[in-house]
Amino acid sequence: MNKLSLPSNKHKLLLHSCCAPCSGDIMKRLIDSDICFTVYFYNPNIHPYEEYMLRKEENMAFANNNGIPFIDADYNPRKWFELTKNMEWEPERGKRCSTCFDMRFVKTAEYAYKNNFDIISSTLGISRWKDMSQINRSGEYAASKYPELIYWTFNWRKENGSQNMIETSKDEQFYMQEYCGCVYSLRDTNIWRRKNNRPKIIIGEKYYSHSNKKSTNNKKPYQAEPSKK
Ligand code: SF4
């Protein structure tokens, strides 16, 4: 695989990450390319809290195991719900998703600016379910708020990126989230499943695996404390 390099002579990347499966192979490519980067986890869209912790803790463990700095930002779902008010029935890739990306990337850009990063990007674009141009628009909008900061619009799906992401997830036996993240995507996925005679999503149930088993719950899922739910 070709080595990557940061554009425009930038040298310090803050990588917004949504989860371990999306970021795992990207992180490996950045490490192999000797790019200096830090992972920034800011995803107050994720619901419920148990799912949020599963995604975050797994992402954090993978970063730690690879010696990559990991910034654990706030979980402020109330603000996310305020911003997406009246967009509850927007389809995926619609207006609500732009608001969701904007919220996450603006905070990423702010942290980058205050901490001397000169370029930001996000792992969100590796998913084939997402609209790359919608993500890039939000990223560029966020970066434009700060002088000299740019958003790296690199297409992570290139050079077999989407397939490698799945292979890395299987190697690492990452948790397999089955919906985008917010309560509305959970609702809509379950509606689709009901119509297609499939069972409801169970949080913490499925993990990637090289075996053909449907579900391998071989990691201990995070147990949320009742007071935090
Ligand atoms: S579907 Fe995904 S991107 Fe869209 S609002 Fe929900 S969590 Fe955010």
| pLDDT tens digits, 31-90 | 999 999 999 999 999 999 999 999 999 999 999 999 999 999 999 999 999 999 999 999
Contacts 24+ apart (CB under 8 A), 210-214: 210/170, 210/171
For ligand 1, mutation pick of 45, 55, 192 (most atoms within 8 Å of CB) = 45
Q: How confident is the model at residue 212 (pLDDT cuts 50, 70, 90)?
A: low
Structural domains present in the chain: 13-195 (3.40.50.620)
Which amino acids bring their CB within 6 angstroms of ligand 1?
45, 92, 96-97, 100, 180-182, 184-185
Cis peptide before 91 (omega within 30 of 0): no
Share of the chain above pLDDT 90, in %: 89
* pLDDT score at 180: 96
Mean pLDDT along residues 91-116: 97
Pairing of strands 119-122, 150-151: parallel
Looking at per-residue pLDDT, the higher value among 225 and 151 belongs to 151
Secondary structure element (H or E) that encloses residue 162, with its range? helix 161-172
Neighbours of 172 (CB within 10 A): 18
Secondary structure element (H or E) that encloses residue 77, with its range? helix 77-83
For ligand 1, mutation pick of 46, 137, 184 (most atoms within 8 Å of CB) = 184
pLDDT digits (tens, 9 = 90+) for 115-138: 999 999 999 999 888 999 999 999
- Stated length of the chain: 229
Please tell me the distance between residue 176's alpha carbon and the centre of ligand 1 in angstroms.
Answer: 17
Please tell me the distance between residue 11's alpha carbon and the centre of ligand 1 in angstroms.
Answer: 30
CA distance 37 to 107: 17
Ligand 1 atom closest to Cα of residue 93? 4
* pLDDT score at 159: 87
As given in the structure block, the two tokens for residue 106 are: 């603006």
Please tell me the distance between residue 33's alpha carbon and the centre of ligand 1 in angstroms.
Answer: 30
CA distance 99 to 199: 30
CA nearest neighbour of 15 among 93, 117, 115: 117
Q: Are 97 and 127 in contact (CB under 8 A)?
A: no
